[in-house]
A and B are shown apart, each in its own frame.
Chain A
């Protein structure tokens, strides 16, 4: 069964934004999705990520063994940031897109669906 990464993008959280109730409501939405997709056996993994100020971007200049350059922050500084991801086990892209549309980030922000590379196991 192919795996798809559903990457959850949304507005960057800023301190003191949104009420307690908003937050609780969003958590309920995620729990609802987790229960539904979990019961269907679709979720193969996933994590929530800390906010983008905690991100460090790593790049090695001049090829392997070259100078390691760290940049504070995410790869691309945009209004919408990667907040977390699910790994979805789905038969095809249509099924993955149907599940992705039920992830709360789809209406709070956007969900990017990417097929996961499957490396051959037995060679």
Chain B
């Protein structure tokens, strides 16, 4: 396949699918019709070149394929088919991009969080069921079932295909942002399995985030989540050494960080904060930028990071945030203070980073046997292979 044609199909596919779903109100039909149109496009475009407006070409052909299918399927759907045929130009109503409607539908609170993630990657990113299954370490059959169940619920329960009104938006937007960010963290720091060698979910999440930012340029939390992803992603090359082992933030070669990306993230944070509607993603992005702009671990503005974590904890009171705050507090006020803050965390005994934080702080106060015990508890938790090697190495260093 010519890379040109393939790339155009992938880029335009999500947009065309979103429009087809609005027109047909049927995820499966829209997907099947797009598939058929893509085959026709491949044949035609390879011979005659990619048309000037490939999205319009694909939409028209796919819409006709959908019409054919509806007419064939049953007389019951004739009315719907007629209605579809009456839509002369599939323009987007109210000037709202269909991809935004699709994102809110895929991330509807009536769907389970794993289903939201899967459906978003399937429909908006255009990943195959197999690719998504591999990223989340489930079987193809399980993932296929998860996606088809979600599609069925959207159809049967009539989950609306629209962007929520302004007054609901603040309730509904966090679910969309959470899906994008979860896809990012799955790629950036896999919770299990192999650290590398997966479909790059982090890149995919960045693409989704940038699309969302293009569609909702005035939402500060959208800018925040994109800035957070960019600033975190900027450090990716420095995170592993030549052997594929993890290099901790403090020890990373900062010349390998993507300086331009960190500056872009900083600009986005500034833009977001000017809107004076702070939120947890903006605060986390600001923290990531402070790390990114520091020339070394010692030069890092830990005092400001502590303040930001305190603000974040009022917005997002969780043990994970408090664990991160404990690290920052320890940098400013010493490991005893870090341990005191960490002591207020409960219910995270299954999270390896809770135990490694505890272990590191206990090592710093000189309680090596307690540190070793915590590293051993960390090893009982689920984590990816590189994290596990790191914990084993830290444990060995305690006890030479």
Interface residues of A (CB under 8 A from B): 2, 4, 91-94, 97, 113-115, 120, 123
CB < 8 Å: which of A2, A120, A123 contacts B158?
A: A2
Count, A-B residue pairs, CB within 8 A: 24
In Å, the complex CA distance between A94 and B156 comes to 13
Chain B positions within 8 Å of A113 at CB level: 157
User: Can you name the residue of chain B whose Cβ is closest to the Cβ of A98?
Assistant: B168
User: Main secondary structure on chain A at its contact with chain B?
Assistant: mixed
Give B contacts to A, CB under 8 Å.
Answer: 76, 108, 110, 156-160, 164
A115 nearest CB neighbor, chain B only = B157
Known: A92-B159, A93-B157, A94-B164. 6 other contacts (CB 8 A): A91-B158, A92-B158, A93-B110, A93-B160, A115-B156, A123-B76
Q: Is the interface of B mostly helix, strand, loop or mixed?
A: loop
Assess whether A115 is in contact with B158, with CB atoms less than 8 Å apart. Answer: yes
* Bound-state Cα–Cα, A123 to B76, Å: 9
B25 → chain A closest CB, angstroms = 11
Task: Give the chain A neighbours of B159 by CB distance below 8 A.
Answer: 92-94
- Separation in Å of the A102 CB from the closest CB of chain B? 15
Contacts of A92 in B (CB 8 A): 158-160
Closest beta carbon of chain B to A119's beta carbon, Å? 11
Bound CA–CA A91/B157 (angstroms): 10
CA of A91 to CA of B110 in the docked complex: distance in angstroms? 16
Q: Could you say which residues of chain B place their CB within 8 Å of the CB of A114?
A: 157
Residues in A with CB closer than 8 Å to B164 are 94
Known: A120-B76, A123-B76. A97 touches B158 (CB 8 A): no
List 8 interface pairs A-B (beta carbons < 8 Å), by A numbering: A2-B158, A91-B158, A92-B158, A92-B160, A93-B160, A97-B110, A113-B157, A115-B156
Q: Which of B110, B158, B159, B164 has the most CB of A within 10 A?
A: B158
CA distance A57 to B82 in the complex (A): 46
With A and B bound together, what is the CA distance between A89 and B159 in angstroms? 14
Closest 7 CB pairs of A and B: A92-B160, A115-B157, A92-B158, A93-B157, A93-B159, A2-B158, A94-B160
Residues of chain B within 8 A of A93, CB atoms compared? 108, 110, 157-160
